[in-house]
Chains A and B, each alone.
Chain A
Amino acid sequence: MSLIRGTGDFIDNLPRIYGFYTGGFVAFIILMAILEQMGVAADTIGILFVVFTVLIYAGIGWLSRTMQVDAYYVAGRQVPPVFNGMATAADWMSGASFVAMAGGIYMGGHAYLAFVVGWTGGYVLVAVLMAPYLRKFGCYTVPDFIGTRYGGNWARFFAVVVLVVASFTYVTAQINATGTIAARALQIPFEVGVWFGLLGILLCSMLGGMRAVTWTQVAQYIVLIIAYVVPVIWMSNKQGFGVVPQLVYGDAVARLAELEPMLGVGTLMPEQAVAGLKALTVPHSTAGEGGLAAWKFVTLVACMMMGTASLPHILMRYFTTPSVRAARASVAWSLFFIFLLYFTAPALATFTKLQVLDPTLPTAIIGKAIADVSALEWIQKWAEVGFVKLVDSNGDGILQINEFFMRGDIVVLATPEIAGLPYVISGLVAAGGMAAAMSTADGLLLAIANALSHDLYYKIIDPKAETAKRLVVARVLLVVLGAAGAAVASLKLTSILGAVAWAFDFAMSGLFFPLVLGIWWKRANRQGAIAGMALGFLAGTWYLYMVRFAGMEPWIGIDHLRFGIVGAAVSLVAMVVVSLATPEPDEETQRMVDEVRVPKGDSILSSSH
């Protein structure tokens, strides 16, 4: 396997290598299914799934080790568009996409589809406004672009601060997710699971930097997409909706709309609150009436889209392609691979809900005797850990819709058990969730460590540092940050989806306009960019603090999930006003912007800067 050392041979052979890998993974699933039939315990199969896949990723990480700067920071700029698309998709789809999104739709119906729209449409901004130009620039990190375009250490420093806050918020949620899954699959305490997850993450990234992360992320994408789609197809087939469920679940949506009034969804409200859990009270496909509901939908979409286009761990993936044209094509492939999961998520939420609600299906629990439902294996298992609770509030012994409490986050993980699929599918889903959370955590940790080692240490503190020393600093930072992330994650301060939305809001508050205007507005200057980053970020953070912790009434429905609207608006105004009030950028900078705008010619920064 010296092939992986980054020669032309390896790049040419990628389709074959990953073809074998996919075949091997499918063979492994079949082997597990056979073992299950032979009577091997479910727990053993779960452990095998997680350990086997994590070992494969670690192996790829080991084979991709490197001591070259451009291999470490940008994978040698030779990743073909389709493979970079897969790696970006894995980088992008985190524990929140894999584990929490379908559960959000299950509980929240149409309003939660704002995440689906926002997390895909953001790529239009990435393709049209950002990625090709940043690739032409030839930077190693996002602050590298800000620092060179606007000049001066302050601009670079503020970009590093925003990057670190946004990415660190995000990464604790991912380490939390790896810990949760590892804890359940390996039957170890959550606090130990977190450190196990971190170990896997570091094995993938530490030795080979971006190169190692790229090739493990491709491997992780393949695992996570198989793990997400297989249970949905299986369920849809079982319910008689055919094998392409995404296209035909309209009937299932209609069936839910028919059942909801009969079961009292939206009319029967829970008579008591259960901490952390919810009863189903929102109809599945009905959109909220009135201006405020529409406003809340589009503002959430806007935050998720602009956040997408400002998150450094995503933007830096497009620094690894061989050309500007390849960077553009790679955005298109990224969205295609992301789309495969995102258009499946609402189908999964719909089918799972039907399994639980539809009285004609054997798996239904609503309307059944509580004694019978409590005896079900999946109810017992999830109730034990406090994620499901049955409360007979009217004392009739029958389970009503407002008496079944559940945590939305468990929908994807519990679906195979709810639908009565074989245990091998549960093991597969655990491996998929692990892949999703690990791949995102890897990208984020690398983005933070690279910004600190390249921009803060090398560009600001010690510009004479030698290559070997720079790469050692980068690795030490990676370990320290990972440990800090795991320590924060083990405190369980935030929910997965909430922390992820905050990361997007932080990124858009500080980075969106300085990045876009740096390319599209020649007049933007250093003072403007610093004002835009600092004031936007402070305004957003202040607003978050006020509505989330200081009890301020949100302005026109802009709650803590949407604080980026305030931050980005302040950032735009500050940047334009300050830029216009101060002298225009010098001639050299203006020429640089002209060069960034055309694909041909050398990149602005040399290949090892």
Chain B
Amino acid sequence: MSDEAARRDEHWRRTRTLMIVHLAIWFVFAYLLHWFAPALNGASFLDFPLGFYMAAQGSLIVFVVQIFVFVRQQHAIDADCGMAEDE
């Protein structure tokens, strides 16, 4: 296998892993937590019932931060494997 092909393989393998990690985090904050909202509402955070807080604000903050982190990580992978665009 040529060097270029090996680097492409590695690039795609790492990209896929990153995708799975981010979708796993996304799954927790998009679905799993809200499934248990009634139980979470028993606890409180910043004086909010926790279940309400997560749906009104918490999950949203996680999504925003998550995408900014993803952008950095994916670019690091691209650069590492020599797959980034010329600037």
Taking beta carbons and an 8 Å cutoff, which residues of A are in contact with B? Answer: 110, 113-114, 116-118, 120-121, 123-125, 127-129, 132, 246-251, 253-254, 257, 285-289, 294, 297-298, 301-302, 305, 323-325, 328-329, 331-332, 335-336, 339, 342-343, 346, 594, 597-600
Identify the interface centre among B12, B30, B41: most chain A CB within 10 Å of its CB: B30
Chain B residues with CB under 8 A of A128: 18-19, 22-23, 26, 70
Kindly identify which residue among B35, B60, B84 contacts A116, using a CB–CB cutoff of 8 Å.
B60
Per CB-CB distance, the 5 closest pairs between chain A and chain B, nearest first, are A250-B47, A287-B37, A113-B55, A346-B56, A250-B48
In the complex, 11 of the A-B residue pairs with CB atoms within 8 angstroms, ordered by the A residue number, are: A117-B55, A123-B67, A124-B66, A253-B52, A285-B51, A286-B41, A289-B38, A298-B31, A298-B34, A335-B63, A335-B64
Q: Please measure, in the bound complex, the distance between the C-alpha atom of A286 and the C-alpha atom of B39, giving whole angstroms.
A: 10
User: In the docked arrangement, what's the CA distance between A599 and B85, Å?
Assistant: 6
Say if the beta carbon of B6 comes within 8 Å of chain A.
no
**Contacting pair A343 B57 (CB below 8 A):** yes
Q: Check B56–A113 contact: CB distance below 8 A.
A: yes
Distance of A34 Cα from B15 Cα, bound (Å): 56
B26, B70, B84: the one within 8 Å of A599 (CB): B84
CB distance from A112 to the nearest CB of B (A): 9
* Assembled-state Cα–Cα distance A286/B55 (Å): 12
CB within 8 A of B35: which of A127, A294, A325?
Answer: A294
Given known pairs A124-B63, A127-B71, the reply for A287 and B85 (CB within 8 Å) is no
| A594 to B18 Cα, complex, angstroms | 18
The B contact surface, by secondary structure, is: helix
State whether A339 touches B56 (Cβ < 8 A): no
Chain A nearest CB from B65 CB (Å) reads 9
- Distance (whole angstroms) from the CB of B29 to the closest CB of chain A: 7
User: How far apart sit A246 and B56, CA to CA, in the bound complex (Å)?
Assistant: 10
**CB contact under 8 A between A124 and B51, given known A301-B34, A325-B75, A325-B84:** no
Query: What residues of chain A lie closer than 8 Å to B57, measured between beta carbons?
Result: 246, 343, 346
Shortest Cβ distance from A95 into chain B, in angstroms? 21
Give the distance in Å from the alpha carbon of A305 to the alpha carbon of B38 in the complex.
22
17 new A-B contacts, CB < 8 A, other than A124-B26, A301-B31, A328-B75, are A114-B55, A117-B30, A124-B23, A124-B63, A124-B70, A128-B22, A247-B46, A248-B46, A248-B47, A250-B45, A287-B51, A287-B52, A301-B30, A328-B71, A332-B67, A343-B60, A598-B83
**A116: B residues at CB distance < 8 A:** 55-56, 60
B64–A332 contact, CB under 8 A? yes
Bound Cα distance A297, B64 (Å)? 21
Residues of B within 8 A of A597 (CB): 11-12, 15
A110 to chain B: which residues have CB within 8 Å?
A: 37, 51-52, 55
Q: Give chain A residues whose Cβ lies under 8 Å from the Cβ of B64.
A: 120, 332, 335-336, 339
A336 to B67, CA, bound (A): 9
Known: A128-B19, A301-B34. A250 touches B71 (CB 8 A): no
Instruction: Pick the residue among B23, B37, B85 that contacts A297 (CB under 8 A).
Output: B37
Q: Collect the chain A residues with CB atoms within 8 Å of residue B67's CB.
A: 123-124, 127, 331-332, 335
- Taking a contact as CB atoms under 8 Å apart, the answer to whether B46 and A250 are in contact is yes
Candidates A123, A285, A302; contact of B52 at CB < 8 Å: A285
